[in-house]
Structure 1
Amino acid sequence: MPRSLKTTVVAALAFSTFATTALAGEVLDRVKQKGEVVNALVNDYPPFAYINDKNELDGFDVDVAKAFADKLGVKLKLETPGWETIIGGRWAGRWDIAITSSTPTEERAKVVNFPVNYYSVPAVLVVNKDEQAIKSVADITGKRVGVGTGSSYEAYVNRNFSIPGQPAIAFPFGEVQVVPNDETVNFQNLALGAGVRLDAIVASLGTAQGQIDATGKLKLAGEPLFAEPNAVVTDKGDAEWDAEIKRVITELKDDGTLAKISEKWFKVDITKYAF
């Protein structure tokens, strides 16, 4: 390789590394200077985040993000780049934070940070109300099981899931036919009838209960599968920003704000077990 070309490539790689890795304090400084925090989240995960009938972003995560910005004393900007983009890291300064219902895992922690948990909710198995053969997760071997694309539930049904700092999770079932999709679509398909398009769904209790109440065509099967902590997500490289996020979220817990938001959406406090 000619020296000039090699130098150009090395410089380009160095710039790329600089552009995709935050310097210490960089994000915190940017948020303070702009007076605005940019939160990345998904918009197809009701009741945590979704587009309401006024064509506005709404949900538990949206309200938590609003409370976070208020406590920090800045404006909030919401963006919806997609789940895989958010959890893939290397944000290059496009977003400051992702309050978007993400479970910390060892694989994800390699590319993003999880500075603080803000709620914990059980994962459950959902079936059609007319389903008779599936009484617990032990009965899903060989069945078509719907999960959110790229979610921890997808990893769970693939029997490839662990939560750092928690006991090993049991997988009391054999190989299943995993059907990753938008969660709303999964629930619509399951509501069509037992075994019509799906046999079951693995989802969070909050999401599942909302769909059960809304459709009247679904039910829970068996006991909760595991307790899933959900954490705020940040890009790698700014310990000062992570510390500030932890401080603000902890204040929102201590002053009762998180509990009020949870009770608004779920009638119970799903945040109390996260700290």
Structure 2
Amino acid sequence: MRLRPALAFAAALLLAPGLAQAGETLDRVLSTKVLNNVVVDNYPPFTFIDKDNQLAGFDIDVAQAVGDKLGVKVVNSVPGWEVITAGRWAKRWDVCICSITPTTDRATVLDFIVQYYSSPAVLIVHKDETAIKSVADISGKQVGVGSGSSYEAYLDKTITIPGEKTIAFPFNDPIKVPSNETVNFQNLALGPGVRLDAIVANIATAKGLIDAGAPLKIVGEPLFGEPNWIAVDKGDAEWNAKVVETIEALRADGTLKAISEKWLGTDITRNDI
């Protein structure tokens, strides 16, 4: 994380005029002893449905660690990515520990309060693909992206990430195929050009599938840095501060590092990334 611009971005959000009574979310969480977290269920290894039909992954463990630190029960909900990123949660949920990247558009409806990991976006193709060697080669190709994701905005050339360097778009008119990420990877595994030519996704997701035997490969350089922050509905500076305090305590005591190493084999949670 680039500390100065990132912290300036967070500070600006924390000082923005609130839409709800200060302390309302914090009071609700501490009085009900329940933390309502929103996630997606198709973004391994961050969140997915395991063999026991339960939500599992990096984000689930981080949310549980936050709940344990606060002394509350964690309830994870999967309302859909478009619903999460629309904001205005109307007290249905308290926090999004859900691998969300802050963008200028999203920051108009959500507060991004603390970065908890960073992992870049990459281009993935079938292992037998020979024509696509970098993102410059995707013009006119069918490229899968998660619906409503930062990867979709990247293909649209509309993504801006506060605190990050300017993103390059060395391609023209790829055929964007937005869908469930799990489906995208399954389709790409069928072969080069069968249903997809490439996917833009997180490097950790891609490496995890490749290491598990998926017939895929990463090509070219990382496309853009993807800082992932914890997001909350706008309006409660006291709740924001409590979540930040809790995450930094989990970072300091090594909990975030341990969770990262469990799911990814490396530490992506350092605040100097």
Report the 3-state secondary structure (helix = DSSP H, G, I; strand = E; otherwise coil) of the residue aligned with 1:153: helix
1:238 lines up with 2:233 in the alignment: no
The CA distance in 2 between the partners of 1:37 and 1:142, in whole Å, is: 45
The one of 148, 153, 163 equivalent to 1:165 is 163
Normalising to structure 1: TM-score of the pair?
0.91
Report the 3-state secondary structure (helix = DSSP H, G, I; strand = E; otherwise coil) of the residue aligned with 1:127: strand
Letter aligned with residue 185 of structure 2:
F
Q: Deviations over 1:208-254 (max 9, x none)?
A: 11121234310011111111000111001111101111110011111
Q: Deviations over 1:74-117 (max 9, x none)?
A: 11111111111111011110011110000000000000111111
Q: Deviations over 1:49-91 (max 9, x none)?
A: 1110101110000000000111111111111111111110111
The count of corresponding residues between Structure 1 and Structure 2 is 256
After alignment, is 212-221 or 111-120 more displaced? 212-221
Q: 1:274 to 1:239 in 2, by over 3 A?
A: farther
CA contact (8 A) 1:21 1:90 kept: no
Unaligned runs of 5+ in 1: 1-19
Partner of 2:9: none
Alignment of 1:18-33 (within 5 A): 21-33=19-31
Partner of 1:146: 144
Partner of 1:76: 74
Partner of 1:132: 130
The CA distance in 1 between the partners of 2:233 and 2:258, in whole Å, is: 28
The CA distance in 2 between the partners of 1:78 and 1:115, in whole Å, is: 19
RMSD: 1.3
Q: CA deviation at 1:137?
A: 0.7
Partner of 2:12: none
The CA distance in 1 between the partners of 2:210 and 2:81, in whole Å, is: 24
Alignment of 1:1-275 (within 5 A): 21-273=19-271
Q: CA deviation at 1:21?
A: 4.2
In our comparison, the structure showing a higher alpha carbon Rg is 1
Q: Deviations over 1:110-148 (max 9, x none)?
A: 001111110000111000000000001111111110000
Report the 3-state secondary structure (helix = DSSP H, G, I; strand = E; otherwise coil) of the residue aligned with 1:248: helix
CA contact (8 A) 1:229 1:274 kept: no
The CA distance in 2 between the partners of 1:168 and 1:43, in whole Å, is: 30
Report the 3-state secondary structure (helix = DSSP H, G, I; strand = E; otherwise coil) of the residue aligned with 2:79: coil
CA contact (8 A) 2:102 2:161 kept: yes
Q: 1:46 to 1:274 in 2, by over 3 A?
A: farther
The CA distance in 2 between the partners of 1:41 and 1:121, in whole Å, is: 18
The CA distance in 2 between the partners of 1:273 and 1:151, in whole Å, is: 23
Normalising to structure 2: TM-score of the pair?
0.91
The CA distance in 2 between the partners of 1:61 and 1:149, in whole Å, is: 19
Q: CA deviation at 1:273?
A: 4.4
CA contact (8 A) 2:36 2:93 kept: yes
The CA distance in 1 between the partners of 2:210 and 2:268, in whole Å, is: 18
Q: Deviations over 1:151-201 (max 9, x none)?
A: 000000111111102221111111110000000000000000001110000
Letter aligned with residue 114 of structure 2:
V
The CA distance in 1 between the partners of 2:272 and 2:37, in whole Å, is: 21
